[in-house]
A and B are shown apart, each in its own frame.
Chain A
Amino acid sequence: SAVISQKPSRDICQRGTSLTIQCQVDSQVTMMFWYRQQPGQSLTLIATANQGSEATYESGFVIDKFPISRPNLTFSTLTVSNMSPEDSSIYLCSVVGGGGQPQHFGDGTRLSIL
């Protein structure tokens, strides 16, 4: 399966600032997704990152708060904007290689907002 590198692995940020999380894959993939895992909770899909076009957001998530880029088939970024303590979560990137393969996940970014 693809090797997924997510950066940073963790960060502590100040309220009102923004952080960009990077997801790099070692091979071209067809699909890339971003999930949020709030403390003690399950995973919730934020959006599907579309190559060369705007991401597809799930209900409850908006582009102004979580802008996403996917300039090519191996790289995507998620920005958490104007952060508040409620944004403290683990953010995970996942990818699908194609051909009916399942999703594989990066190690996640553990984000704490003070």
Chain B
Amino acid sequence: AQSVTQLGSHVSVSEGALVLLRCNYSSSVPPYLFWYVQYPNQGLQLLLKYTSAATLVKGINGFEAEFKKSETSFHLTKPSAHMSDAAEYFCAVSVTAGNMLTFGGGTRLMVKP
């Protein structure tokens, strides 16, 4: 069975500051890991995915995430926050790339001017 824990249900940063959203996973098999973003009144948009290739994954909108097996983590970062990054972010795990997803609780990112 898989599970995902996102530390911090709310994160607030200033515009231009580093964004760090934390995700830890538990999986009985090598995991496939994903970050999705949900803007208000919209569905989920895929930011990036880890599928056992490079451990540092680059995604859209300047986001990247690093897979650390020893720490069972897949934290999402962005060097400089923009106001348009304000949204809900979800980390998710699955046993294969196209299988059912188990989601973390989500982190709401707020960006202050």
* A interface residues (Cβ-Cβ under 8 A, vs B): 1, 4, 6, 30-31, 33, 41-45, 48, 92, 94, 96-98, 100-108, 110
User: Is B77 an interface residue when CB atoms closer than 8 A count as contact?
Assistant: no
**Interface of chain B, main secondary structure:** loop
Classify chain B's interface size: 20 to 34
Is A42 within 8 A of B103, CB to CB? yes
- Proximity string of chain B (53-72) to chain A, C-beta cutoff 8 Å, 1 when within and 0 when not: 00000000000000000000
CA distance A48 to B100 in the complex (A): 8
Cα A43 to Cα B34 with chains together (Å): 14
Structural contact, B100 and A102, CB atoms closer than 8 A: no
12 A-B pairs besides A45-B101, A98-B98 with CB distance below 8 A are A6-B43, A33-B100, A42-B90, A42-B103, A43-B44, A92-B43, A92-B44, A100-B51, A101-B97, A102-B32, A103-B34, A104-B46
- B-side residues, CB < 8 A to A, are 32, 34, 36, 41-46, 49, 51, 90, 96-106
Complex CA distance for A30 and B98, rounded to whole angstroms: 9
Residues of B within 8 Å of A31, CB to CB, are 98-99
Q: In the complex, A98 Cα to B42 Cα: how many Å?
A: 24
Q: What is the minimal beta-carbon distance from A55 to any residue of chain B, in angstroms? A: 12
Which residue of chain A has the shortest Cβ distance to B101 in the bound complex?
A: A103
| B105 near A100: Cβ-Cβ < 8 Å | no
**Docked CA distance A108–B36 (Å):** 14
| Cβ distance A50 to chain B, nearest Cβ, rounded Å | 12
User: B41, B45, B103: which contacts A43 (Cβ < 8 A)?
Assistant: B103
